[in-house]
Amino acid sequence: GAVVSQHPSWVICKSGTSVKIECRSLDFQATTMFWYRQFPKQSLMLMATSNEGSKATYEQGVEKDKFLINHASLTLSTLTVTSAHPEDSSFYICSVQTRDLIYNEQFFGPGTRLTVL
């Protein structure tokens, strides 16, 4: 399977600042990456689908101007939380998808814990 890294693994920031989270596919060229958010003891909720070279597709209820996604290369996608507020504190996880689209298996990064003070 694909090896996926995220950076940073955790970040604490002040309210109103912007935070960038990187998701890298280390051994696989990912045309599609996904960004999820997970609140404590809850399930993963898909935020957006990141496609290399094109605009991301956001899920209903996710503010595209607040959560900026850039998938500039086949190995890197970034999620920028702009003007972060305490309610944005969460665990953000990315995943990459294999080319075997029949089965849609995804490989997940280790996650980034964001705490907004």
Chain residues in the site for other proteins (CB under 8 A): 1, 4, 6, 32, 34, 41-46, 49, 91, 93, 95, 97, 101, 103-111, 113
Q: What's the closest the beta carbon of residue 92 comes to other proteins, in angstroms?
A: 11
Query: 10 or 16: whose CB is closer to other proteins?
Result: 10
Query: 78 or 95: whose CB is closer to other proteins?
Result: 95
Query: 82 or 108: whose CB is closer to other proteins?
Result: 108
Q: What's the closest the beta carbon of residue 111 comes to other proteins, in angstroms?
A: 5
Q: Can you tell me the distance from the alpha carbon of 91 to that of 81, in angstroms, rounded to the nearest whole number?
A: 12
CA–chain centroid gap for 6, Å, is 9
Distances (CA, A) of 1 to 47, 52, 90, 96, 109: 23, 20, 26, 10, 12
